[in-house]
Amino acid sequence: MSKRPIIRLLKILLPILLGVFLIWYSLSKLSFQDIIGFAKNADYKYIILGVFLGLLSHLSRAYRWVFMLEPLGYKIKLGNSIMAVFATYLINYTIPRAGEVARATILTNYEGVPFEKGFGTIVAERIADMIVMLGIVAITLFLQFDFIYDFLIQKFDVTKIILGSLSLLLLVFLLVVFIKKSQSKIALKVKNFVNGLIEGALSIFKMKKKWAFIFHTLFIWTMYVLMFYVTTLAFSDLNGIPFGAVLIGFILASFSIAATNGGIGSYPEAIVIAFTLFNLPVDPSRAFGWIMWSSQTVLVFIFGGISLLYLPFFNRHK
């Protein structure tokens, strides 16, 4: 039997199994009834505001995609772009990254944009998003350097940290040298991937509306961070939360979305890990994670479901 079908199957099953395990683990620590109790006592004006900020980020992403396609000679309807974006988020809850394929396919079906060109713009915007995410990580490391340094000193031996860091740097250096000189298939794939990232990032500055693209990219991620922070205000147990906890919580929660389908199960546990570093109470942190994830998931399911149903009617003349 070929290995490829097995690998594909594992890519689908492993995130689902991990999500199921994390749901069980999380609910074993904080029951569903306890989460409902926290939800009843939450200040819903902040939750609603958080959902609204999330909605703005999605609309901005859809608008950004419209003028990304213009240099390619395609002027698509904003409505199709919005519905394709929401359909992407919804479909990603089923099979990881299947939403991106569906998004490009929707554009092909209803706007006549060739699949490879539509998918290429999606890859380019993901590169831009990754650069901003790395920027947020760098800013967090800079702002929270003392906290992170003290935490590492308390938890780990200083000599081991230094030796580990030097070993890691040496390993990275040797890996870079090997990849540059090697002609193996894996090395060539890595080089092509890195070159593609660099080329994609630089292509942003060649766009006619590059400043609009940069503005919307920064706006999207600003809304993400604000959405996260504003929702914490709904919980009295998290009042006065340090901004460093917000940033670290946001980063870990963002990475958790890639671990399981839509972050199910992993999202609240990532927040618990981040918030307990700042000695915030565990139960309110876990409840916040579930309610934060649930509110944004409801937004995606409502608008994503409407989008998938309404797309054929919106384009009935095509």
Rounded to 5 degrees, what angle do the CA atoms 81, 317, 311 make? 35
| pLDDT tens readout for residues 126-141 | 888 888 998 898 888 8
Distance CA 132, CA 147 (A): 23
Task: Provide the residue ranges of all domains of the chain, joining segments of one domain with +.
Answer: 158-207
Greater model confidence, 101 or 1: 101
**pLDDT band with cut points at 50, 70 and 90 for residue 21:** confident
Distance CA 306, CA 6 (A): 34
pLDDT of residue 152: 63
215: three-class secondary structure by DSSP = helix
- Torsions phi, psi of 279, nearest 5? 60, 30
| pLDDT tens readout for residues 187-236 | 777 777 666 556 655 656 667 778 888 899 999 999 999 999 999 999 98
Distance CA 134, CA 265 (A): 24
* Long-range CB contacts for residues 71-79, cutoff 8 Å, separation at least 24: 71/207, 71/208, 72/113, 72/117, 72/121, 74/111, 74/112, 74/113, 74/117, 76/107, 76/111, 76/113, 77/111, 79/314
| pLDDT tens readout for residues 50-101 | 999 999 999 999 999 988 888 778 888 999 999 999 999 998 888 777 878 8
pLDDT exceeds cutoff 70 at 295: yes
Whole-Å CA distances, 119 to 57, 93, 231, 244: 20, 19, 33, 35
Give me 279's structure tokens: 């000695």
pLDDT exceeds cutoff 50 at 1: no
